[in-house]
């Protein structure tokens, strides 16, 4: 199978992996790590929940389950048996932007293991009887999610902040939509999206590039032509111009929840370059650490350690392809809800008005760079990192994270706080115990 190297954008940091495009359109990322006796293979498919039309909500996640139900030549359960008998491990996950499937196995076992995974992904049979059985499993997963107060609050929050975009839909779908779906529709979705040109296969570990190319090119060959499939229509989410507030009451809830959210940058914005989007996203990473990571962070120190107003408070930024999400969450007693929300808004105003100190900025950068270092130690961690960035933008960007973090200055954070973290324009979900 002929190959052509993908162009790699120039960066000041060396990208340790090789990027190749197979002639069937599949992207291969390979990194040889001879010091480790294992190999991780992570297959990323550009077929997350936002690929579904509204009426097919939950299809991408349901298909993740059905992938493991066999093909015409591979009965259900055989793949798991092969991987487990070799001492390997496998798992999968679905997000709004992607689905991915990975195996970790001893290097000498990969030649036997990988064809099984490729067979499942490329040729899933999606038999009618297995579809009905597994639908019951997914429906139970949805019911369990609705038993989780934090999931309920977060889903309500995302629906409030993404009122036009499919990011507001639950990845699991709903009972109503799943009960209306058919095996034929899932087979259509699979044949439309699970094609080589829509996949990135990441191979990291003790396997040479030539062997990886041969093994992947032989294993990942589509046997069927892609078909047309209904797709979602992603509308640009308009700016929030007020405070979108909602309150929920749940029985048997021991502590109230306060969840606040702001729209952040995505990767695909037509108004900014990729570098600009990444710098803004990583600046929001720094702000999330400054606000609520570690006892020295502003909100944890004030709200939990000094004033004892919350049991816990956290913050984070989720980078997504089309629109990121910045959140602040707290567990607290109901009588403190208004006070805590007001304090958080005041602290955001201060971020926009006053530059962060050199000491605070250095602490945040140190924590993020250390976390990056600790999360890039194993083949499976690296494979996941490269695959994630291959779906969002370009995989070689993954290694520039520490460099970009170090380049951010206090003035940048001040500008980002002013632009994205308005104390007057946000979505908030409050969850309170229902008195029985």
pLDDT digits (tens, 9 = 90+) for 149-187: 999 999 999 999 999 999 999 999 999 999 999 999 999
pLDDT digits (tens, 9 = 90+) for 73-111: 999 999 999 999 999 999 999 999 999 999 999 999 999
Task: Return d(Cα 390, Cα 45) in angstroms, integer.
Answer: 10
Q: Say if CB 429 and CB 248 are below 8 A apart.
A: yes
Q: Is 436 exposed, middle or buried (0-12, 13-18, 19+ CB in 10 A)?
A: exposed
Mean pLDDT for the stretch of residues 193-212: 96
Q: Is 161 exposed, middle or buried (0-12, 13-18, 19+ CB in 10 A)?
A: buried
Q: For residue 226, which phi and psi values (nearest 5 degrees)? A: -65, 150
The first and second tokens of residue 276, run together, are 């600009």
Q: For residue 166, which phi and psi values (nearest 5 degrees)? A: -65, -10
Give the pLDDT band (50/70/90) at residue 369: very high
C-beta neighbour count of 238 within 10 angstroms? 10
Task: Return d(Cα 304, Cα 197) in angstroms, integer.
Answer: 50
pLDDT at residue 252 greater than cutoff 90: no
Domains of the chain: 3-219 (3.30.830.10), 243-433 (3.30.830.10)
Task: Return d(Cα 331, Cα 346) in angstroms, integer.
Answer: 19
Give the pLDDT band (50/70/90) at residue 360: very high
Q: What per-residue confidence (pLDDT) applies to 1? A: 39
Give the pLDDT band (50/70/90) at residue 232: confident
Q: What per-residue confidence (pLDDT) applies to 8? A: 38
Name all contacts of 266-274 with Cβ < 8 Å and 24+ positions apart.
266/319, 266/320, 266/321, 266/322, 266/323, 266/324, 267/319, 267/320, 267/321, 267/322, 267/392, 267/393, 268/321, 268/322, 274/393, 274/394, 274/397
Q: What per-residue confidence (pLDDT) applies to 436? A: 56
Q: What per-residue confidence (pLDDT) applies to 231? A: 83
Q: What per-residue confidence (pLDDT) applies to 214? A: 96
Q: Which residues pair with 427 in a beta bridge?
A: 244, 261
Please report the DSSP string for 34-53 in residue order: TTSSEEEEEEEES--GGGS-
Q: What per-residue confidence (pLDDT) applies to 6? A: 44
pLDDT at residue 358 greater than cutoff 80: yes
Q: What per-residue confidence (pLDDT) applies to 400? A: 95
Question: Which of 243, 276, 217, 301 shows the shortest CA–CA distance to 425?
Answer: 243
Q: At what angle do helices 78-85 and 110-123 cross, to 10 degrees?
A: 160
C-beta neighbour count of 140 within 10 angstroms? 10
Q: What percent of the chain has pLDDT over 90?
A: 89
pLDDT digits (tens, 9 = 90+) for 328-347: 999 999 999 999 999 999 99
Q: Say if CB 90 and CB 102 are below 8 A apart.
A: yes
Between these two residues, 8 and 282, which has the higher pLDDT value? 282
**What is the overall mean pLDDT for the chain?**
93
pLDDT at residue 277 greater than cutoff 80: yes
pLDDT digits (tens, 9 = 90+) for 379-389: 999 999 999 99
C-beta neighbour count of 388 within 10 angstroms? 21
């Amino acid at each position: 199978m002929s190959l052509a190297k993908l162009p790699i954008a120039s960066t000041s940091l060396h990208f340790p992996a090789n990027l190749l495009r197979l002639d069937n359109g599949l992207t291969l990322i390979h990194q040889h790590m001879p010091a480790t006796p294992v190999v991780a293979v992570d297959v990323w498919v550009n077929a997350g929940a936002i690929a579904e039309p509204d009426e097919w909500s939950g299809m991408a996640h349901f298909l993740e389950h059905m992938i493991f139900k066999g093909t015409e030549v591979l009965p259900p359960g055989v793949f798991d048996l092969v991987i487990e008998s070799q001492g390997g491990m496998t798992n999968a996950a679905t997000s709004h932007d992607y689905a991915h499937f990975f195996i970790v196995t001893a290097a000498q076992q990969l030649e036997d293991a990988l064809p099984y995974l490729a067979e499942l992904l490329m040729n899933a049979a999606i038999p009618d009887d297995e579809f009905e059985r597994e639908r019951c499993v997914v429906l139970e997963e949805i019911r369990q999610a609705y038993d989780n107060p934090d999931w309920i609050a977060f889903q309500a929050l995302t629906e409030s902040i993404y009122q036009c975009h499919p990011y507001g839909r639950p990845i699991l779908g709903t009972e109503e939509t799943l009960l209306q779906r058919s095996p034929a529709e899932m087979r259509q979705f699979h044949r439309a999206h699970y094609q080589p040109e829509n996949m990135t296969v990441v191979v990291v570990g003790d396997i040479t590039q030539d062997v990886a190319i041969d093994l992947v090119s032989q294993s990942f060959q589509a046997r069927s032509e892609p078909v047309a499939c209904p797709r979602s229509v992603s509308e640009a989410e308009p700016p929030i111009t007020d405070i979108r507030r909602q309150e929920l009451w749940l029985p048997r809830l021991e502590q109230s929840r306060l969840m606040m959210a702001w729209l952040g940058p995505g990767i695909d914005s037509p108004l900014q370059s990729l570098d600009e989007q990444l710098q803004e996203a990583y600046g929001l990473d720094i702000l999330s650490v400054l606000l609520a990571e570690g006892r020295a962070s502003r909100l944890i120190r004030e709200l939990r350690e000094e004033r004892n107003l919350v049991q816990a408070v956290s913050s984070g930024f989720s980078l997504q392809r089309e629109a990121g999400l910045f959140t602040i969450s707290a567990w607290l007693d109901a009588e403190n809800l208004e006070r805590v929300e007001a304090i958080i808004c005041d602290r955001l105003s201060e971020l926009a008005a006053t530059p962060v100190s050199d000491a605070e900025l250095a602490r945040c950068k140190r924590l993020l760079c250390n976390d990056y270092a600790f999360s890039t130690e194993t083949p499976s961690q690296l494979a996941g990192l490269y695959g994630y960035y291959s779906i969002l933008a370009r995989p070689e960007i993954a290694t520039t994270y520490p460099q970009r973090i170090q380049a951010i200055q206090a003035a940048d954070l001040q500008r980002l706080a002013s632009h994205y973290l308005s104390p007057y324009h946000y979505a908030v979900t409050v969850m309170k115990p229902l008195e029985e």
